[in-house]
Homo-oligomer: A and B are copies of this chain.
Amino acid sequence: MQMHSTALRESPSRKTKPRIAVVPDAPVAGLFNLMGAPLAFGRNEEVYGEGEPAEYLYTVVSGCVRTSKILNDGRRQIGAFYMPGDIFGLEAGNEHSFSAEALAPTTVRIIKRAALASRAVCDSATASQLLALTAVELQRTQARVLLLIKSAQERVAGFLMEMASRNAASEIELPMSRQDIADYLGLTIETVSRTLTHFENICAIALPTSRRIVLRNRSALARLNA
C-alpha cells in the first residue's frame, strides 16, 4: 500500500464567527432564488460531515470549499473544490458521502433539499436544473478519472489548467494547501512540490508565492497534460 496522504493534520477551528456577507449574486442556476440568508464559515470549519443526513444544497458565495473523505487506512481523499457560484451538497442517497470544509473564510447560501424535491415534482424546470447539476458533477468526476490514470506531471499540469480555466487570468491564487492538492490528485505532498518547482525550472510557470502561480507557458502545460 503506497501513496501516503494526510491523516487529519487539519485542526478544525471555529475561530471565525458567522457574519453576513455582502456579495453580488454568483452566476448560479435560477432555482437559487429560494436560497436562505448567507452563512459564514471560518478557515477549516466544517460545513457538514460525512454520514450526516443531506438536508441542504449549498452554493458558494465567496471563499472556497473542499469536500473530503477519510479512508479507513487513514488516507484522505478530496472529492472536489468548489469556487464561488458552484453548488455542492448534491448526493445520490440521503446522507453525505463526503464531508465539506471551508478552505478559507467562506460564505454560502443554502436551500432545503426537501423543498427542492417537492418543487421538482410539479415544476419540470426545477427538475431539469437538478438533473443538469448532477450531470455537470458527473462530467467533472469523469475528467478527474482521466487525470488519475496519468503520470504525476500530467496530473499537476491538468490541475493547474483546471484552476486556470476558472480564473481566466493567467495568475492563479490557490486557496488550498499542497496537502489538499496532493490528496486531490492522489499524490504525495512532496511529489506535488517537486513537480511545481520542475515546472518553474522549465519556465512553464512562476511561483512568486507558494500559493500564487503565474502561467508562463500554457501550451507547454497543455502538452504535459497530454
Contacts and interface: CB of A to CB of B under 8 A. Distances in A.
A31 B138 CA distance: 22
Interface string A157-200: 00000000000000000000000000000100000000000000
Given A3-B151, A72-B226, A127-B127, 16 more contacts: A1-B150, A1-B153, A1-B154, A2-B151, A71-B146, A73-B226, A75-B149, A77-B145, A77-B146, A120-B128, A121-B124, A122-B124, A124-B124, A134-B138, A138-B138, A148-B186
A14 B80 CA distance: 42
Interface of A: 1-3, 71-73, 75, 77, 79, 92, 97, 120-122, 124, 127-128, 130-132, 134-139, 141-142, 144-146, 148-151, 153-154, 186, 226
Nearest to A1: B151
Contacts of A154: 1
A132 B135 CA distance: 11
30 contacts: A1-B150, A1-B151, A1-B153, A1-B154, A1-B226, A2-B151, A3-B149, A71-B226, A72-B226, A73-B226, A77-B145, A77-B146, A79-B142, A92-B135, A92-B139, A97-B142, A120-B127, A120-B128, A121-B124, A124-B124, A127-B131, A130-B131, A131-B134, A134-B138, A137-B138, A138-B141, A141-B142, A145-B148, A148-B148, A149-B186
